[in-house]
């Protein structure tokens, strides 16, 4: 059968500012998956989309075409309502770890397919893999069985889900076309819709440590994704949350697991608790269980029980000692005063350079590496007191991590007033 379109026709249409037809979009996504549209053609199209944009209908159709490129999961056999959460990625963003078992403990099932980290933001699977024995790869049958019995699964997405997105994401990564809102939104939402959850909460990060540096672009991305979710029949809400400052007091794999367990035990940093409870409330409301108070369930210890069950179900020992880095280096406060800024990107880069993240897919990561900060913006600090502790197995990594932190924080005169930025900047849905 002859092809109904050709690559140059579609590229030239978008290049010249036209709106692509449903038929052009369906064809180009499918033909790219089949290899008929070549990488060099799709990268030219991606650049034209980045520079000339797509309207809502085009983005919805593009997303549908990427879903149609692979399998869709069917969670209709699960006896509880389902709710999923996706974060666009930030520094110290370990929220999925306490959140999934907390929501499960509230009676809503959480099917969470996650990724590994690339660059300065950590990956949820990398964090969980620091737990001895825990494994990320489950079959579809194991995934569904655990979702029914434990109520929460965090695992790697299988290769069958939205293969067009996998191929396109890898291409965008090497062609300078990652930062296109239509392509970011359709990439995230094609996977989330294909996962089959009944509801979804998006945590769209804004600030230096996030993909979206300003609120306008983050709002545009969030609105685009919410519309895609709603159009696909999934209850979808987005929170816009601050990522100028890193979340909690730790960035790094085992360091963040430890902090997450503190939250599940009723402690932990206030911002991590606040965001976990806010997202849990949205997930419960989306799943029709807005009557449940997640704070009460967290205080009851039921979320910790769900955590232990979830880790054990995937081969992990929730009580085993977590890896600890061989070397540490303390950065002392250079003056006495008020910490008025701690830059998320600087901390994320430092943690990455210490070995918590990878430069290329497939690289190993260090379980114990990362950064701990001993003060948060607004705190008083005294000259010489420990401000940050760097952790790594390889002391030669300290130099480049310290370079990343250079200029990454401000200490103002003692008594300087500090107006805290709200953690939750907005809500769409």
CA–chain centroid gap for 253, Å, is 14
User: Residues interacting with a copy of itself, by CB under 8 A?
Assistant: 7-8, 11-12, 15, 38-48, 50-52, 171, 174-177
CA-closest candidate to residue 41, choices 177, 132, 158, 144: 177
Question: Smallest distance, Å, CB 4 to a copy of itself?
Answer: 18
Task: Identify the active-site residue in 26, 84, 165, 271.
Answer: 165
Per-residue DSSP letters for 239-299? EEEE-SS-STTEESHHHHHHHHHHHHTT-S-HHHHHHHHHHHHHHHHHTT-TTS-HHHHHH
289 carries an active-site annotation: no
Q: Which of 5, 120, 172, 192 is catalytic?
A: 172
Q: What is the largest CA-CA distance in the chain?
A: 75
Q: Tell me which of 5, 86, 116, 127 is the catalytic residue.
A: 86
Q: Which of 12, 403 has the CB closer to a copy of itself? A: 12
The verdict on whether 80 is a catalytic residue reads: no
Residue with smaller CB distance to a copy of itself, 7 or 404: 7
- Asked whether the beta carbons of 143 and 111 are under 8 A apart, the reply is yes
The DSSP 8-state label assigned to residue 82 in this structure reads B
Q: Name the H helices within 178-252.
A: 181-195, 215-231
Of 12 and 230, nearer to a copy of itself (C-beta) is: 12
Q: In what order do the strands lie in the sheet with 380-381?
A: 380-381, 337-342, 409-412
* In the complex, least distance from residue 6 CB atom to a copy of itself, rounded to whole angstroms: 10
Least separation, in Å, of the C-beta of 51 and a copy of itself? 5
Dig out the tokens for 106 from the structure: 């509230």
**Would residue 374 show up in a list of annotated catalytic residues for this protein?**
no
Q: Which of 61, 85, 191, 397 is catalytic?
A: 191
Q: In terms of CB distance, is 50 or 238 closer to a copy of itself?
A: 50
86 flagged as catalytic? yes
Place of tokens 């932990």: 268
Active site residue 165: yes
Give the nearest distance from C-beta 159 to a copy of itself in angstroms: 22
Q: Which of 213, 82, 66, 57 is nearest to 152 (CA)?
A: 82
Catalytic residue among 43, 69, 186, 187: 187
Least distance (Å) between residue 37 CB and a copy of itself = 10
Query: Which residue numbers are catalytic?
Result: 86, 165, 172, 187, 191
């Amino acid at each position: 059968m002859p092809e109904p379109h050709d690559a140059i026709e579609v590229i030239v249409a978008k290049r010249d500012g036209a709106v692509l037809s449903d038929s052009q979009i369906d064809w180009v996504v499918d033909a790219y998956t089949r290899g008929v549209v070549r990488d060099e053609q799709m990268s030219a199209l991606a650049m034209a989309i980045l520079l000339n944009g797509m309207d809502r209908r085009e983005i919805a159709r593009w997303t549908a075409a990427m879903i149609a490129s692979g399998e869709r999961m069917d969670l209709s056999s699960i006896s509880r309502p389902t709710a999923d959460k996706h974060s666009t990625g930030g520094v110290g963003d370990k929220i999925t770890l306490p959140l999934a078992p907390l929501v499960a403990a509230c009676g809503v099932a959480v099917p969470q397919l996650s990724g590994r980290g690339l660059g300065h933001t950590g990956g949820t699977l990398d964090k969980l893999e620091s737990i001895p024995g825990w494994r990320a790869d489950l079959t579809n049958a194991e995934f569904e069985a655990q979702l029914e019995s434990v109520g929460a699964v965090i695992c790697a997405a299988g290769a069958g889900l939205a293969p067009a997105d996998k191929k396109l994401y890898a291409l965008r990564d090497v062609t300078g076309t990652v930062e296109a809102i239509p392509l970011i939104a359709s990439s995230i939402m094609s996977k989330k819709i294909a996962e089959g959850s009944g509801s979804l909460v998006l945590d769209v990060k804004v600030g230096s440590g996030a993909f979206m540096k300003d609120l306008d672009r983050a709002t545009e991305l969030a609105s685009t994704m919410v519309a895609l979710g709603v159009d696909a029949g999934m209850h979808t809400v987005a929170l816009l949350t601050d990522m100028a400052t890193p979340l909690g007091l730790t960035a790094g794999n085992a360091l963040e697991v430890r902090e997450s367990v503190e939250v599940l035990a009723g402690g932990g940093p206030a911002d991590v608790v606040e965001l976990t409870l806010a997202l849990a409330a949205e997930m419960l409301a989306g799943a029709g269980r807005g009557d449940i108070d997640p704070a009460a369930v967290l205080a009851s210890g039921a979320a910790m029980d769900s955590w232990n069950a979830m880790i054990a179900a995937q081969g992990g020992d929730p009580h085993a000692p977590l890896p600890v880095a061989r070397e540490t280096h303390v950065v002392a406060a250079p003056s006495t005063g008020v910490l008025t800024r701690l830059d998320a990107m600087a901390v994320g880069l430092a943690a990455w350079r210490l070995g918590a993240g990878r430069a290329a897919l497939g690289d190993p990561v260090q379980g114990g590496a990362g950064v701990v900060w001993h003060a948060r913006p607004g705190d008083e600090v005294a000259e010489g007191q420990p401000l940050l502790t760097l952790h790594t197995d390889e002391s030669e990594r300290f130099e480049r991590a310290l370079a990343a932190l250079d200029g990454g924080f401000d200490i103002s005169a003692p008594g300087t007033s500090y107006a805290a930025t709200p953690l939750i900047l907005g809500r769409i849905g």
